[in-house]
Amino acid sequence: MSLDDSRSNIPPKEIKGLKYFRALGTMLARLHEVGKERDKANNRHLHMDQYCTLILLWLYSPLVDSLRGLQQASMLKKVQKKFAVPPTSLGSLSESVSIFDPEPLKQIAKELGDQLPNAVARKRSKGFQEALLDQLSNLGKTITAVDGSIVQILARIARLAWITVGDGQPTCGYRLQTQFEILKGIPSRIDATTANPKGTADERAVLERTLEPDRLYVTDRGYQSWKLWNAIHTKSSSSICRVRDKIHYEIIESKELTQADMEAGVISDQTVF
């Protein structure tokens, strides 16, 4: 039995974004051998670079809105010729999630992110905004905003498996622990944990084990922790944290504000313990 376009419900003209893949082809080719060691029978035809290409194709083509739609797209001669993607079964697509190691793909995402210019290079603003961007870019550290947002998409996938409280709201979900590089305007890292912020899923614990040097972490009061602040300092990074009103500390030194400080809205400059 042959596999051809007649078996697909997706018109070839609806496959969008093919021109954007040219720049990614060489980088994705590095993934071709990933997971090969698990193919003991040597009968797997869908490789990681091809799988990633199909996933990207799904992102660019609104008509491809399901796993079956993605499988149908792989049947199109246009797709097979452009990307050397073989006709793919639903089974191969499904098992790919557990076969392919995501770490090499993360490295490619990082390399692409590093190629993006920061906000100062992308857009020169006037007045205060320009001066602020210049000051931020001269800090010598990567300014990284950190937060955790709960995503309750699991309810759409397995609603019956959720435990609800009195008001009928689900008590579980995913929390996306996100680190966002402000000047580049892109996330540098996202860790998915359970929604319950305890143990290894605690926001402070997640940040502590993913700290990197030469960053300025900007956080809200949920990250208030002397232990975390010390860990950030030990990693040769810095932090700005909005703290709770009732925090207890001892003022070690109060520094006199300059005219520039006051014009910028600085209320006080203190060293505390």
pLDDT tens digit string along 94-118? 888 778 888 888 888 878 777 776 6
Distance CA 57, CA 211 (A): 33
The rounded percent of the chain whose pLDDT value lies above 70 is 72
Lowest average pLDDT, out of 27-31, 115-119, 153-157, goes to 153-157
pLDDT of residue 20: 63
Q: By the 8 A CB rule, do 27 and 111 touch? A: yes
C-alpha pair distances (Å), 106 with each of 8, 10, 49, 169: 32, 30, 13, 34
Instruction: Give the ranges where the chain is alpha helix by DSSP (H).
Output: 25-29, 48-60, 67-73, 77-83, 90-99, 103-114, 119-122, 127-137, 154-157, 203-209, 226-234, 259-263
Lowest average pLDDT, out of 97-106, 204-213, 261-270, goes to 97-106
Predicted confidence (pLDDT) at residue 230 exceeds the cutoff of 70: yes
- Name the percent of the chain in helix, strand, coil, to the closest 5: 40, 15, 40
Predicted confidence (pLDDT) at residue 154 exceeds the cutoff of 80: no
Round the average pLDDT of the chain to a whole number and report it: 77
Report the pLDDT averaged over residues 62-90: 81
pLDDT of residue 9: 57
Domains and CATH numbers, the chain: 5-106 (no CATH), 116-272 (3.30.420)
Distance CA 48, CA 38 (A): 13
Residue 189 — φ and ψ, nearest 5°?
A: -165, 140
Q: Which residue has the higher pLDDT, 149 or 158?
A: 149
